[in-house]
Amino acid sequence: MRELFVPGTEDVFQLFSSVHLYTLGAFLLLIMLLFLFRKPLRNPSINRIARVGLFLVLIISEISLQAWLWWSGHWSYQYSLPLHLSSISLILSAILLLTKSYRLFEFTYFVGVGSAMQAMITPDISLYTFPHYRYVHFFISHGGTVIANLFMVFVAGYRPTGKSIWKAFLWLNVYTLIVFIVNFLIEGNYMYISEKPVNPSIIDYLGPWPWYILSLEVIALITFVILYFPFWVARQMNRENQHN
């Protein structure tokens, strides 16, 4: 999404500043609490409340963003539709919470968690910082996407497989092709596949267009493998324990 900063009295965002690190720390604390309370969250009534609650947080965050963009005069069909990877991952993760679809989980775990975690570590939010709405929304929406998928891992017991990596990678490329066509038709730049984003980002170091797209493909695949690695290790350990 194209970020627009309106100068004001707010402090500007600084990467790995104290407020950024505190935000990441709070997010890690939520993950730890989710893991520690995974058993109580399996209670049918509590589980339903938690899933619906997370669903509402994700959906309301996306609706509020669209409302803010419209109210602030920044909304444009070329930049503001929920077609960026972060938005589509958020929406699909919200649907996952209600449907508990494992096939959907195979996509949202790798694509949603991978893109959201990278975004939180190196946010593309221009100069907005806490307590500006854009800062708060950014971390709630991206953090919520990660929490939703880890909820399915810790509480529901979902586990991706090696095949899940390739399924997610295939559907990611299918979606990228669709977005590329949309960008061509409306002269947009969703997923930054038509040109590099205006704000500085990791894409600046990946070469010119269209070669940086291939670099992003490699980074995505490496990210998927890293996200699968803990599950691979757990499976290997279970096999060894069964043989002993």
Task: Give dist(CA 12, CA 99) in Å, integer.
Answer: 40
Answer whether residue 9 shows pLDDT above 50. Answer: no
Q: Are the C-beta atoms of residues 122 and 103 closer than 8 Å to each other? A: no
Residue 4 counted as domain residue: no
User: 75: helix, coil or strand?
Assistant: coil
Compute CA 59 distance to the chain's CA centroid, rounded to the nearest angstrom: 14
Residue 7 counted as domain residue: no
Answer whether residue 2 shows pLDDT above 80. Answer: no
CA distances from 205 to 91, 120, 193, 200 (A): 30, 19, 15, 10
**Residue 181 burial (C-beta neighbours within 10 Å; 0-12, 13-18, 19+):** exposed
- What mean pLDDT comes out for the span 68-77? 94
- What mean pLDDT comes out for the span 95-105? 98
pLDDT at 177: 97
pLDDT tens, position by position, 123-159: 878 778 898 999 999 999 999 999 999 999 999 999 9
Answer whether residue 3 shows pLDDT above 50. Answer: no
Looking at per-residue pLDDT, the higher value among 244 and 87 belongs to 87
In 122-210, alpha helices (H): 133-154, 162-186
Q: How confident is the model at residue 5 (pLDDT cuts 50, 70, 90)?
A: very low
Looking at per-residue pLDDT, the higher value among 229 and 7 belongs to 229
User: 10: helix, coil or strand?
Assistant: coil
Task: Give dist(CA 123, CA 20) in Å, integer.
Answer: 9
User: 14: helix, coil or strand?
Assistant: coil
pLDDT at 222: 97
Percent of the chain with pLDDT over 90: 77
Answer whether residue 6 shows pLDDT above 70. Answer: no
Residue 150 counted as domain residue: yes
Q: How confident is the model at residue 206 (pLDDT cuts 50, 70, 90)?
A: confident
Specify the range with the lowest mean pLDDT, choosing from 6-15, 17-26, 83-92, 225-234.
6-15
Residue 114 CB neighbour total at 10 angstroms? 24
Q: How confident is the model at residue 200 (pLDDT cuts 50, 70, 90)?
A: low
Q: How confident is the model at residue 239 (pLDDT cuts 50, 70, 90)?
A: confident
* Overall domain count for the chain: 1
Residue 222 counted as domain residue: yes
The Cα angle at residue 190 between residues 22 and 93, in degrees rounded to 5: 55
Task: Give dist(CA 236, CA 3) in Å, integer.
Answer: 44
Residue 3 counted as domain residue: no
Residue 11 counted as domain residue: no
Residue type, 62: E
Residue 54 CB neighbour total at 10 angstroms? 20
Answer whether residue 12 shows pLDDT above 60. Answer: yes
The Cα angle at residue 100 between residues 98 and 102, in degrees rounded to 5: 150
Rounded to two decimals, the pTM is 0.91
Which residues form the domain of 158? 18-243
User: 216: helix, coil or strand?
Assistant: helix
Residue 83 CB neighbour total at 10 angstroms? 19
- What mean pLDDT comes out for the span 72-78? 94
Q: How confident is the model at residue 199 (pLDDT cuts 50, 70, 90)?
A: low
How is residue 8 written in tokens?
């004001």
**Residue 139 burial (C-beta neighbours within 10 Å; 0-12, 13-18, 19+):** buried
Residue 2 counted as domain residue: no
Answer whether residue 238 shows pLDDT above 90. Answer: no
pLDDT at 205: 82
Residue 8 counted as domain residue: no
pLDDT at 1: 40
Average pLDDT over all residues of the chain: 92
CA-based Rg of the chain, rounded to a whole angstrom? 19
